[in-house]
Amino acid sequence: MSEELAAKLREQGYRLTPQRQLVLRAVEKLGHATPDEVLAEVHAQSSAVNVSTIYRTLEVLEELGLVRHAHLSDRAPTYHSVTDHEHFHLVCRNCHKVVSVDPEVVAPLADRLMREQRFVIDVGHLAVFGRCTDCDEHGG
**What DSSP assignment string belongs to 45-76?**
H-TT--HHHHHHHHHHHHHTTSEEEE--SSSS
> Each residue of 83-133: pLDDT tens digit?
667 888 899 999 988 888 999 999 999 999 999 999 999 887 788 999 999
Q: Cα–chain-centroid distance for residue 93?
A: 18
Four-point Cα dihedral 81, 2, 39, 53, nearest 10? -110
The pairing of strands 88-92 and 127-130 is parallel
pLDDT of 1 > 70? The answer is: no
Q: What is the pTM of this model?
A: 0.73
| Domains present along the chain, CATH in parentheses | 2-81 (1.10.10.10), 88-137 (3.30.1490.190)
